[in-house]
Structure 1
Amino acid sequence: MGDENHTDPLLDEAADWLLRLQEAPRDARTAEEFETWLARSPEHARAWASIGRSWRLIGEVAPTHEAAWKQRTRSRRRLSRSGHSVSGGWRRIAGIAVATACVAFLALSAPSFMLRLQADHLTGTAESRVITLADGSTVTLGADSAIAATVSSHERSVTLLAGEAFFEVRRDVARPFTVKAGEVTVAVLGTAFDVQLTTSTATVQLEHGSVDVGYSREGTSGNAHLAPGEMMRVDRQTGEMSRNPIAKDDIAAWRNGYLFVSDATIGFVAEQLQRYHPAWISVPDRDLAARRVTGLYDLRDPDRALRALVEPYGGRVRAVSPYLRILSRL
């Protein structure tokens, strides 16, 4: 959900044409203008082929003019100046989002495979699991999450590889329990707490007991102690720590089907809702993505949660396909 505006311009245009052809599959003028665009250069043809292949991979039906994916330009034609612009407004945002979703799908395939190799336990979209470790501690693994665990006679450690998990740790003074989440380490003896890992932050919420939160990256380090009813958000890039109070019922609220956020950006919330939604969620509008919200969102109906997230700011949720949602203000 990070910077989603830097895609290949030709991929943007190809995605725009895909949407236009889907909207008007029998329009002769649209088809003629598309053929003119496609014939401009081999790069245009390759961009169209790439979007087409990726669109099929994310599960959408074959778009109109599928046969053109395999064509290579045989001749160059002059570009008609009377055609519709392939940039600006909603169509521009949709084009960026479709291109981003297709590229992201391919880019995420390899990391997902590597995650499966590293993980001892993992979950899928909208799935949760309760795992009992060898020492009797339990881990409730949230949706689209993964952990690797080591429990021996002298060590108890868990690495949160992705997503979120709630830990209920059995007290053992001789074997402190540690959780590693990116650059952040949580050390406890016996307690209950939640750890969430995103691309930009690691967040710890403490239900009872006590935990020490540490950060270390490239010579930068920091430590803090949390008391029950507190949460700590750590910037993974800078190590900046932000402490806030949190109601007990809001700690790991996802276990009861809700997502609680406090002073978080819409982009951050969309990243969390992504773990509960089968479609790819794109927020190409940077200003909208940067808006800050506090609220409780229903994870059992992620589309409703998305609407509740953006509509107060003039945003809309556009279902481009069963596999793509675009959040925008246009």
Structure 2
Amino acid sequence: MHDSRRIEHAAAEWLARRDRGDWSARDERAFEDWLEASTRHRVEFLRVQAAWREAGRLQALAAGLPGGTVPPRGAWTIGALVPATYVRAARARATQPARRWRYALAAGFALVATGSALWLGWQLGGRSEADYASMLGQVQAVTLADGSNVVLSSNSRLHVRMTRGERDVELLEGEAYFDVAHDAGRPFVVSSGGRRATAVGTRFSVRSDAQDVRVVVTEGKVRFDAPPGADGRATPVSLLPAGSVATAGRNGVFVRSLPVAEAERYLEWRSGFLTFDDTSLANAAAEFNRFNTRKLELADAAIGDLRVGGNFRWANVDSFVKLLEMGFPVRAERLPNRTVLHAR
């Protein structure tokens, strides 16, 4: 089982056992040991406990389940076991001002028009160029002229140029996940920040920040390098197999080799989640800010070093902030357009 899923399920089991009525002192000691073992355990338990309480106790809604039984992830549905917070969030999204939907609709029409132009250019001359973009808080899936599939993360931009001999993609901003159509005669090259990730047929992501470029490979192999310098000298090349997480910055390229399931955790934004593992609060806040107009700000530098862990919906910043207030020495100041976090 995926590590974050395992911790989530364990937290739910502890909560269900405590609610069952036969909780003993021995159980309490085991539970405290589990909480102390990892910050991720404590954060995940607080998250599950908050959802349980706001749902009016999931056990009461789970008619027909034996006492202490935890339904598997993915089995919760509206009217049965979905937490009330998610129901309210869904209703709130459904009643957003019409202007937001007009923006999304306009973006969708622009995307269709761009894709149609790309396809027509390809059919007429074997050459096509197109630009793709996603809005803040939007995850956008597109299909390129060669059949490759791309998922754009929030606030991301791509420029795509294809001929019968080349497939070149420039990531101008943000992050994108590529499921590349196999074509041994035309390597698929993604460039960003002076770096290139080259594949023939594979699955990988590229992310561009102010100073770094990160590549995560989940299938196949990717060649990661930079163009020759002004003096013509070649730059070091990294060949990244599945499970690799490579970060290129001022000090060179740092590569981590992980099980593929662990590497996939970096890409959970595609399904609406952010996963943190002993992550500083400063970095966690920055991740939430990539997806939301309402920003998290840290008023005190000291709390930026607090370590957090767990699996969170990037669209639900309020729940994350509530968990910080419950489990950490943090106080939240909620302003109209941002939330400011203070040391408590």
- Shorter-chain TM range is 0.5 to 0.7
C-alpha distance in 1, partners of 2:134/2:332?
A: 26
Contact 1:216 1:239 in 2 (8 A): no
Does residue 265 (structure 1) correspond to residue 280 (structure 2)? The answer is: yes
Contact 1:222 1:239 in 2 (8 A): no
Aligned pairs (5 A) from 1:295-310 = 295-308=310-323
Identity of aligned residues (%): 25
C-alpha distance in 1, partners of 2:288/2:195?
A: 23
1:241 aligned partner: 254
1:232 aligned partner: 246
SS at match of 1:275: helix
Unpaired runs of 5+ residues, structure 1, are: 1-118
C-alpha distance in 2, partners of 1:247/1:286?
A: 34
Does residue 281 (structure 1) correspond to residue 292 (structure 2)? The answer is: no
AA of the residue aligned to 1:144: N
The offset of 1:270, in angstroms, is 1.9
Contact 1:266 1:310 in 2 (8 A): no
The offset of 1:268, in angstroms, is 2.6
1:329 aligned partner: 343
Aligned pairs (5 A) from 1:143-292 = 143-215=154-226, 221-235=235-249, 237-248=250-261, 249-262=264-277, 264-292=279-307
AA of the residue aligned to 2:240: L
SS at match of 1:252: helix
C-alpha distance in 2, partners of 1:166/1:262?
A: 21
Contact 1:283 1:326 in 2 (8 A): yes
SS at match of 2:213: strand
C-alpha distance in 2, partners of 1:153/1:268?
A: 42
AA of the residue aligned to 2:158: I
AA of the residue aligned to 2:287: Q
Q: How many residue pairs are counted as aligned between the two chains?
A: 211
AA of the residue aligned to 1:188: A
C-alpha distance in 1, partners of 2:211/2:171?
A: 14
Go from structure 1 to structure 2 and tell me whether the alpha carbon gap of 1:279 and 1:185 turns closer, same or farther (over 3 Å shift).
same
2:139 pairs with 111, 128, 132, which one? 128
C-alpha distance in 1, partners of 2:136/2:297?
A: 17
Go from structure 1 to structure 2 and tell me whether the alpha carbon gap of 1:203 and 1:306 turns closer, same or farther (over 3 Å shift).
farther
C-alpha distance in 1, partners of 2:169/2:307?
A: 31
Q: Structure 2-normalised TM-score?
A: 0.54
SS at match of 1:231: strand
C-alpha distance in 1, partners of 2:277/2:206?
A: 15
Q: Structure 1-normalised TM-score?
A: 0.56
What whole-Å deviation, never above 9, does each CA across 1:106-135 have from its counterpart, x for those lacking one? Answer: xxxxxxxxxxxxx81111122111111111
